Structure 1
Amino acid sequence: MEAKISAKNQDAPVKKAFELFQFLYKYGTIITILALIIIFSAANPTFIQGSNVINILRSISIVTIIAIGITISLSVNGFDLSVGSVASLSNAVVISMFVWFSQNTLVAIISAIAASLVVGALNSFMIVKLRIPDMLMTLATMFIIQGTALTYTKGATVSQNMVMPDGSMATGLISPFFAKIGEVPWIIIIMAVTVILVHIFLTYTKHGRYMYVIGGNKEAARLSGIPVNKYKVAAYLLSALFAAIGGIVLASRVMTSEINSGAPYLMDSVAAAFIGFSVLGAGKANAIGTFVGAVLIGILQNGLVMMSVPYYAMDIVKGAVLAFALAITYYKQK
């Protein structure tokens, strides 16, 4: 009898600890965001002002769009490391279409998306048909596309009135309509529409549910009659598509194509996607969670800048956040 009572007493702390972990897993990200808002607002009252909130949303727009592509690849238990390079390629192509070839907005955007989808098709073929592990393949693709973008631009910044290799001046102009894409409120609207559409797709359509089934158990999905390979191909194509959109929005925002301009967005996008796993206890890649993850990163960056933390220390904070998100995600999956 005493042994039974003792066992029950031992189980109680374990149960309470488990319940606490469950609570933190579900609401930890939201609590962290609220805590950061309170801390940064106390340190600098301008942090909570409407203009700064808009600035944060604008700053996370490109990260969120690219991270949504990673989210889709994660839904089928894949992973796309090439999104930063694809964004760089998209950025270079869309600006060069204006500056070098004097094309209109539609042609420039379609060209950038087409070039990016070629990368998605390459990833799909190598991963699905040749069975190369996705992380290794997309890592290789990252370097290939990075080099391709550099070769295409000849290592130069592409901008209006630039000096061409033959010494002449570029005569093409960036469309004023295209320039508005990267401005408020359009850049925030594009982000919001992207998040909502992908959330609906993954949560409420059979195709999205199939992707989650594949991500949970590929063999069970195949035995259920789901065309696994087709959905994996679609996932990597969609990942490339959203990376392309991110690159296009970036191009509109800065109106130039810098060398490897999309590379800095990779780490933030990966962190946002993995943080999203735990938001409200989802336990899987999801668009709303990814957006919340991007908000967390945006608040951190903005608040640290306001507190005059050196820019070179930012990666330490972002890396720590990503490590924490991965620890929570994979511990939960045990």
Structure 2
Amino acid sequence: MKLDFKSFLMKYKSLVGLIILCLIVSIIAPRFLTLGNITNVLTQVSVNAIIALGMTFVILTGGIDLSVGSIVAISGAVAAYMVKGNVNVLAAVAVAIIIGAAIGYLNGFIVARGKIQAFIATLATMTIFRGVTYVFTGGNPISGLGNSFMIIGNKKLVGLPLPVIFMILVFIIAAYVITQTRFGRYVYAIGGNEDSARLSGISTNKIKNLVYMISGITAAISGVIVTSRIGSASPNSGSGFELDAIAAVVLGGTSLAGGEGQILGTIIGAVIIGVLNNALNLLNVSPFYQSIVKGAVILLAVLVDKKNNK
């Protein structure tokens, strides 16, 4: 029984951690459990969760994608520019997502074909496309986007904010792809042992291209949502988002070494970060200390991951 309980805790450690965190926060900050605050937390979580879901595919292959924050910025800026130019909102969103997919595919091509480490490759594209965003916007926010575009990030449907609904839809699609398709099995196989996967006939380069493209698409979706919620596209948008996304994936139990993890865990990890941020805000903790606390939690998660993979 003790062994079974220990196995249960290790398998669902992120969920157990979230429950404990919510219990503690609800005691020290009773306002946490109000419907309005819970809805606010989920809305705040949605952007990071969507990015993290795409990041999960990359990390499962043993890679990393540092460019997602810059993709958020450039995709949001392009969508805003088009909408301000009276282009149809759906067309603007489609172009933004295509841009995200193209940048993601480029990342995958550099990593897979160029044989460059993912950290270096995506660090380079992160810098490049942040610069491209500054050039495109002239360093100034693009505002005055109109009500039809603002609906994406601010309207509610069946009582839920649209960003939360988008998060749920992306989660369902991602969970199906990773658990029910051959592509999903190949992703795990590459993360487990890339050489063995290649020898078994899996086109590892093609799969890598696709996982980075997925990461680019989810970052672009979040870019559109962020731009819509704020009502303007800033060239600084998405700064630091890559770190929160990676943290959500790791907190959700996905191994940085690749080959092990779950999509559901990523959602739980994103919620943990959201609850932690919300709790610190409710307690009026200085943003400087918030960074310290969040960093400590992430470090703890990485240490646990390392211990489990010994």
TM-score normalized by the length of structure 2: 0.92
Q: Kindly indicate whether the alpha-carbon contact (under 8 Å) linking 2:189 and 2:259 is maintained by their aligned counterparts in 1.
A: no
Q: 2:187 aligns with which of 211, 235, 256?
A: 211
Q: 1:68 aligns with which of 31, 53, 66?
A: 53
* Pair 1:115 & 2:91 matched: no
Q: Kindly indicate whether the alpha-carbon contact (under 8 Å) linking 2:56 and 2:254 is maintained by their aligned counterparts in 1.
A: no
**CA-to-partner distance for each residue in 1:235-264, whole Å, 9 max, x for gaps?**
111110111011011111111012321113
**Within 5 Å, which residues of 2 pair with 1:143-222?**
143-160=127-144, 173-174=145-146, 176-183=147-154, 184=156, 185-222=161-198
The residue that corresponds to 1:229 in the other structure is 205
**Corresponding residue SS for 1:182:** helix
How far apart, in 1, do the equivalents of 2:236 and 2:194 lie?
35
Letter in 1 for 2:12: Y
**Corresponding residue SS for 1:274:** helix
Structure 1: where are the runs of 5+ without partners?
1-15, 161-172
Q: Kindly indicate whether the alpha-carbon contact (under 8 Å) linking 2:179 and 2:185 is maintained by their aligned counterparts in 1.
A: yes
How far apart, in 2, do the equivalents of 1:89 and 1:326 lie?
30
* Pair 1:312 & 2:283 matched: no
Larger radius of gyration: 1
* Pair 1:298 & 2:274 matched: yes
**Corresponding residue SS for 2:115:** coil
**CA-to-partner distance for each residue in 1:132-180, whole Å, 9 max, x for gaps?**
00111001111111111111101101101xxxxxxxxxxxx43x33322
Deviation at 1:96, TM superposition (A): 1.1
The residue that corresponds to 1:284 in the other structure is 260
How far apart, in 2, do the equivalents of 1:132 and 1:33 lie?
36
Q: Kindly indicate whether the alpha-carbon contact (under 8 Å) linking 1:277 and 1:283 is maintained by their aligned counterparts in 2.
A: no
Deviation at 1:124, TM superposition (A): 1.8
Farther-moved stretch of structure 1 (34-43 vs 130-139): 34-43
The residue that corresponds to 1:139 in the other structure is 123
The residue that corresponds to 1:325 in the other structure is 301
Letter in 2 for 1:200: Y
Q: Kindly indicate whether the alpha-carbon contact (under 8 Å) linking 1:196 and 1:287 is maintained by their aligned counterparts in 2.
A: no
**CA-to-partner distance for each residue in 1:241-293, whole Å, 9 max, x for gaps?**
111011011111111012321113222111001111269xx972321100000
How far apart, in 1, do the equivalents of 2:23 and 2:259 lie?
27
Q: Kindly indicate whether the alpha-carbon contact (under 8 Å) linking 1:25 and 1:328 is maintained by their aligned counterparts in 2.
A: no
Paired residues, what number?
302
Q: Kindly indicate whether the alpha-carbon contact (under 8 Å) linking 1:94 and 1:112 is maintained by their aligned counterparts in 2.
A: yes
Pair 1:242–1:308, CA change in 2 (3 A):
same
Deviation at 1:38, TM superposition (A): 2.0
* Pair 1:261 & 2:245 matched: no
Q: Kindly indicate whether the alpha-carbon contact (under 8 Å) linking 2:153 and 2:229 is maintained by their aligned counterparts in 1.
A: yes
* Pair 1:35 & 2:17 matched: no
**CA-to-partner distance for each residue in 1:59-103, whole Å, 9 max, x for gaps?**
10000001111101112221111111111111111111112x221
Q: Kindly indicate whether the alpha-carbon contact (under 8 Å) linking 1:182 and 1:250 is maintained by their aligned counterparts in 2.
A: yes
The residue that corresponds to 1:128 in the other structure is 112
Structure 2: where are the runs of 5+ without partners?
none
Identity of aligned residues (%): 37
**Over 4 Å off, 4+ runs:** 18-24
Q: Kindly indicate whether the alpha-carbon contact (under 8 Å) linking 1:26 and 1:278 is maintained by their aligned counterparts in 2.
A: no
Letter in 2 for 1:77: G
Deviation at 1:200, TM superposition (A): 1.0
**Within 5 Å, which residues of 2 pair with 1:48-127?**
48-99=33-84, 101-127=85-111
Deviation at 1:130, TM superposition (A): 1.2
Deviation at 1:23, TM superposition (A): 5.1
Deviation at 1:210, TM superposition (A): 1.1
Deviation at 1:201, TM superposition (A): 0.6
**CA-to-partner distance for each residue in 1:19-59, whole Å, 9 max, x for gaps?**
88755433332232222222222222221111111111001
The residue that corresponds to 1:249 in the other structure is 225
How far apart, in 2, do the equivalents of 1:36 and 1:269 lie?
19
Q: Kindly indicate whether the alpha-carbon contact (under 8 Å) linking 2:74 and 2:133 is maintained by their aligned counterparts in 1.
A: yes
**Corresponding residue SS for 1:156:** coil
